[in-house]
Amino acid sequence: MLGMLRSLWQYRHFVVSSIRNEMISRFARSKLGSLWMMINPLAQVAIYALILSNVLAAKLPGIESQYAYAIYLMAGLLAWTLFNEIVSRCLTLFIEQGNLMKKMSFPRVTLPTVVVGSCALNNILLFVAMLGIFALLGHQFSSVMIWLIPLTLITVMLGLSVGLILGVMNVFVRDIGQGVPIVLQMLFWFTPIVYPANIIPESYRYLLNLNPVYHITSAYQQVLVYNQAPQIGGVVLITVIALALMLLSLFMFRRASGEMVDVL
């Protein structure tokens, strides 16, 4: 672990330049540039809000605004987008960078670090755009938003650990790369993002506790929608899960680094 941290510090300029180059290349010859990172999820919000707002707005307790559903949806998508993007990109990271890994000698841990940096930057820009929309809709902010800092770190840690585990496995069993997007799509709909948790029958609501992403999206919604601190129990639980998965993912990544180069 300490060795990985030392390697990251030694190659910090490589990581920063890689993130910068990735952002530049992604939007080369694009007139709107980084705005596309915000347009896509916000367009998704607009579609869901247009179709479902009249149906589900009445089921959101404690919010008087007529734009309650749109605010609720944006809060959940902010958390989900970060988690989903990190997992999806780590899933194919080592396969896509196979030639680089075979031709150059560098700390492999820099590759997922670049992914995290890029995804975090995307999420920050999306968050700024959402704050602007919240302000236009007349939604109030409070100091409780400071909770978003640890919540974002937890989301990154969970997404990175799951992504690393799946990314390493995908090198050896390519079927994983085909199945994970389907699982992520199912996980999205089994997480109360598009709909509130209170529409689930109470006899089945306990099953939400088995979904680690639910604890994250719920915490984001408490902070951004209701201006309340998240439930400490849920935050502690997901932190423990994220830490355990992170240790497992780093162990797998370190053990499989050499074998992955041979397979690739």
Is residue 97's pLDDT more than 70? yes
Chain-centre distance of CA 198, in angstroms? Answer: 24
Task: Assess if residue 229 is contained within a domain.
Answer: yes
pLDDT in tens, 53-65: 666 665 676 666 6
For residue 1, what pLDDT is reported?
A: 63
Task: Assess if residue 14 is contained within a domain.
Answer: no
Question: What's the token pair of residue 114?
Answer: 């670049």
For residue 159, what pLDDT is reported?
A: 96
**Is the full-model pTM beyond 0.85?**
yes
Is residue 119's pLDDT more than 60? yes
Asked if 15 and 8 touch (Cβ cutoff 8 Å), the reply is: yes
Spatial separation of the C-alpha atoms in residues 37 and 116, rounded to whole Å? 15
Question: 3-state DSSP: the chain helix, strand, coil percent, rounded to 5?
Answer: 80, 0, 20
Residue 95: is it exposed, middle or buried by C-beta count within 10 angstroms (0-12/13-18/19+)?
middle
Task: Give the mean model confidence (pLDDT) for residues 119-128.
Answer: 89
**What phi and psi values does residue 85 have, to the nearest 5 degrees?**
-65, -40
Is pLDDT larger for residue 184 or for residue 108? 184
Split into its structural domains, the chain has a count of 1
Tell me the residue range of the domain where 204 lies. 43-263
Task: Assess if residue 17 is contained within a domain.
Answer: no
Task: Assess if residue 28 is contained within a domain.
Answer: no
Task: Assess if residue 91 is contained within a domain.
Answer: yes
Q: Cα–Cα–Cα angle for 115, 116, 122, nearest 5°?
A: 90
Task: Assess if residue 202 is contained within a domain.
Answer: yes
Task: Assess if residue 1 is contained within a domain.
Answer: no
